[in-house]
Amino acid sequence: MGSAAEARIGRPRGVKRLGETLRRRPYMLAYLRKPAEVHPEVLEYLERGRSALDPCPGRLLVHGGALGVREGQWPGDVVLVESPSTKHAGDSCDSAAYQEIKPLRTARLEGDLVIVDGADPDHDSAEMAAALRAAGRCRSSPPVVTAAALDLAWPRPCSRR
């Protein structure tokens, strides 16, 4: 049976097949706002971008492409690169070749770039919710702020704990 079939019939979480290495991979994720028109420097950035990142291991998974916005607003494009490690992802961003072309984009195109760890292969969001509840990181309702509470607090300075 293949791993997909094993997953469907319930191979115990965390149990690996012989030779299988389960680990999460980090990703570089860029969200770029679409400009009204594309500046020639952005085109130069696109032309030189691949060669700037070639020395760094990684795999381009998404670059632009059609978006199917299901919730909220998303007036931009996505770039997603899978990296073998957080260090490799950081090295890609910090490389001299990338630093040389980066101003071509940042001066003309607004955006954000983050490095984020992917989920473990056996990640369970229900277990995550239970851990957050157990740690007291859940509030059942928003705090109620009354006028009286505000009057008592004013004009006391904030104190550090």
pLDDT in tens, 84-128: 999 999 999 999 999 999 999 999 999 999 999 988 888 899 998
Other residues' Cβ atoms within 10 Å of the Cβ of residue 109: 19
CATH code linked to domain 31-115: 3.30.70.100
| pLDDT greater than 50 at residue 15 | no
Confidence tier at 144 by pLDDT (50, 70, 90) = low
Q: Which pLDDT does position 62 carry in this prediction?
A: 93
Q: What is the pLDDT of residues 47-61, one digit of tens each?
A: 998 888 887 888 889
Closest CA relative to residue 26, chosen from 51, 61, 52, 50: 61
In the numeric block, which tokens belong to residue 122?
A: 């056996």
- Percentage of residues in the chain with pLDDT exceeding 90? 39
| Relative orientation angle of helices 96-106 and 86-94, to the nearest 10 degrees | 70
Edge-to-edge, what's the strand order for the sheet holding 59-63? Answer: 59-63, 76-82, 26-33, 111-117
Q: Which pLDDT does position 159 carry in this prediction?
A: 47
Report the SS3 class of residue 101. helix
Rg, C-alpha atoms of the chain: 23
Confidence tier at 12 by pLDDT (50, 70, 90) = very low
Q: Which residue has the higher pLDDT, 148 or 82?
A: 82
Give the mean pLDDT of the chain.
78
Length of the chain, in residues: 161
| pLDDT greater than 60 at residue 3 | no
Closest CA relative to residue 95, chosen from 39, 151, 48: 48
